[in-house]
Structure 1
Amino acid sequence: METGGSPRAALVTGAAAGLGHAIAMALARSGTRVALADIAEEGLAQAAQACGPGSVALPLDLRHADSITACLAAAAEKLGPLDLLVNNAGVALHRPALDLTWSEWDTVLDVNLKGAFFMSQAFGARLVAEKRPGAIVNIASTHGIVALADRAAYGIAKAGVIHLTKMLAVEWARFGIRVNAIAPGTVMTPSRAELLKAPEARARMLDRIPLGRFPTAQEVAEAVLYLAGDGAASVTGHTLVLDGGTTVC
């Protein structure tokens, strides 16, 4: 990390839109060169362009090891050695446990948990080989902390991400690699705003939040900047919950 707290170069997964793009934008504003990676290539180039001239767009499919390897190699080639990985890419699923299919389970776990692990493994291996410190920030969820009906696969995957964060933090501390997570509640991204456009649906969700407001994508992005920076030099293995108090009730 550079003096002043900002990483020099970062890779953000799931960065074509929504929360991932907000994180990439915040990093770019802090002076970080950013690689935006996503399976949805439509709009990805424009998302990278919005982050400024130090940013690049890269295809990534977390279900395939070759794609992970190629994405990291391309990011390092274009931006130089990477200091930060943000594991943001994820697949959501609203399905009763009794109706959950084998293929749906595989899709959610392969991207949200398996993909996050093997992306972290490949990133960590690069840092260790180059004898450089670095940071990983995983985007988890409050569904990985408290249970909610019809979210079995997603919640189990995100609980795995939270424990993955702890396991890697302990194992990689000796290499100077810090691993942390953020567990947001319902973030009002454009896609979520569309789902909650009905006043009664929005009111039901807000009733569950003691602060009475949804966290914003910018707040999550600011949390990433904190966990990635020098101000969090002693923070590792931690999950920062951004939910307005929902999980403490």
Structure 2
Amino acid sequence: MSRTYVVTGSASGIGQATTNLLVKLGHTVIGVDRSHANIVADLSTADGRKELVDAVAKLTDTVDGLICAAGLGLDAPVTAQVNYYGTLATLIGLRPFLANSAAPRAVVLASVAVLFDADADLLGAFEGYDEAAAIVRAEAITDQPGAIYSTSKRAVARWVKRHAPTSEWAGAGIALNAIAPGMVMTPMISEQIKLPEVRRAMLERVPMPLNGIAEADDIARALAWFAGPENTHITGQIIYIDGGAEASLRGVGTL
């Protein structure tokens, strides 16, 4: 059965791989990105987030699957704006469209970086939905590599776990989960690991004993399944597709 999906970040990386897979499977995909997409919108801005929802409304009243893959890894406030506020605006704005589906599913792209230290003040701004405060705090920690990225991904994963079982999501039949990849062979990573010492350092931080660094297609297959009708009872989960990184870093401490 053909379904209608919205995929943010559809023009590159994991979002592009997921879009290609869903189209190959015969589904309709509404791609969203800053360029080269069905809907061109900048999710770092309130206007761009509204433009996304308004544009979807012009195309359909029903979204069967939503995949929020748009994200940035820059040590800059824009990462906080896209990764957290852009993702939440997409989820909240398109939830009514999901509710019209017979088998609605939503999946957020998180990261194994949710395991890393988070900045407490930035996390507090995220969870208080204070975007102005988040921008100020993010600007103050741009000298801490990866801090904005890891904090934004932890915040959005916590939002998923907090909201997935509620009446607005599970109660409406909408499964909501997050996929947390380890390192994935995107253009950014492929450039970084050309230097052997950088590759070693990255794999020490994110050990991936099973098959090493993943390809975007590996993550796309999981996103497609969790956003599909086959997923009838999995919700509120953070699914690590990380070659064993989470198990290596945390062991049995969370059981």
TM class, shorter-chain normalised? 0.7 to 0.9
Could you say which residue in structure 1 is the equivalent of 2:132?
Answer: none
Distance 1:114 1:93, change over 3 A: same
Are 2:117 and 1:134 aligned? Answer: no
Letter in 1 for 2:114: G
TM-score between the two structures when normalised by the length of structure 1: 0.80
Once the two structures are superposed, residues 24-44 of structure 1 have per-residue CA deviations (whole angstroms, 9 ceiling, x without a partner) of 1111111111111112x1xx1
Using the TM superposition, give the Cα deviation of residue 163 of structure 1 relative to its aligned residue in structure 2, in angstroms: 0.9
Letter in 2 for 1:145: L
Could you say which residue in structure 2 is the equivalent of 1:51?
Answer: none
Q: Is the 8 A contact 1:33 1:79 kept in 2?
A: no
Could you say which residue in structure 2 is the equivalent of 1:193?
Answer: 190
Separation (CA, whole Å) in 1 of partners of 2:60 and 2:11? 18
1:134-153 matches, within 5 Å, as 134-147=104-117, 150-153=145-148
Are 2:68 and 1:87 aligned? Answer: yes
TM-score between the two structures when normalised by the length of structure 2: 0.78
Identity %: 32
Could you say which residue in structure 1 is the equivalent of 2:152?
Answer: 157
18, 22, 30: which one aligns with 1:23: 18
Are 2:84 and 1:113 aligned? Answer: yes
Distance 1:79 1:34, change over 3 A: farther
Q: Is the 8 A contact 2:66 2:107 kept in 1?
A: yes
Could you say which residue in structure 2 is the equivalent of 1:179?
Answer: 176
Separation (CA, whole Å) in 1 of partners of 2:202 and 2:145? 15
Segments of 5+ residues of structure 2 without an aligned counterpart are 119-143, 249-255
Could you say which residue in structure 2 is the equivalent of 1:125?
Answer: 96
Q: Is the 8 A contact 1:34 1:79 kept in 2?
A: no
Distance 1:125 1:79, change over 3 A: closer
CA root-mean-square deviation: 2.1
Segments of 5+ residues of structure 1 without an aligned counterpart are 46-56, 95-103
Q: Is the 8 A contact 1:206 1:212 kept in 2?
A: no
Once the two structures are superposed, residues 91-115 of structure 1 have per-residue CA deviations (whole angstroms, 9 ceiling, x without a partner) of 2135xxxxxxxxx3x3222111111
Query: How many residue pairs are counted as aligned between the two chains?
Result: 219
SS in 1 for 2:230: helix
Using the TM superposition, give the Cα deviation of residue 237 of structure 1 relative to its aligned residue in structure 2, in angstroms: 0.6
SS in 2 for 1:188: coil
Separation (CA, whole Å) in 1 of partners of 2:173 and 2:114? 27
Using the TM superposition, give the Cα deviation of residue 76 of structure 1 relative to its aligned residue in structure 2, in angstroms: 4.5
Once the two structures are superposed, residues 123-179 of structure 1 have per-residue CA deviations (whole angstroms, 9 ceiling, x without a partner) of 113334x47541111000011123497321111110011111112211211111110
Are 2:37 and 1:38 aligned? Answer: no
Q: Is the 8 A contact 1:133 1:175 kept in 2?
A: no
Separation (CA, whole Å) in 2 of partners of 1:144 and 1:89? 16
Moved more, 190-199 or 213-222: 190-199
